[in-house]
Amino acid sequence: MEEFYRGFAQRARELAEKGDPFTRRRLLDLAKKYDAKSRPSGSARPLPAARTTPPATLFSGTGEA
């Protein structure tokens, strides 16, 4: 599957060379997305760390409902 997306990314770049500036930008953005999908799942960006305490704004009220 990774090779499939890598091929799509390359094709989008080839088409971008021939397009107007707007189309070129859109195709290059698309190529980036396909490149991201072509990487093995282990190399994806890590998720942010989970919060251990709720944000302070939840406790800033008067306490009455």
Domain layout of the chain by residue ranges = 1-36
**Tokens (6 digits) for 42:** 């282990």
| % of the chain exceeding 90 in pLDDT | 49
What's residue 8's pLDDT? Answer: 93
Q: How many CB atoms lie within 10 A of CB 38?
A: 17
Asked if residue 43 has pLDDT above 80, the reply is no
Question: What phi and psi values does residue 26 have, to the nearest 5 degrees?
Answer: -65, -45
What's residue 21's pLDDT? Answer: 94
Q: Which single residue is written with the structure tokens 């997306």?
A: 5
The single-letter code of the amino acid at 20 is D
Q: The pTM is what?
A: 0.56
d(CA 35, CA 14): 14
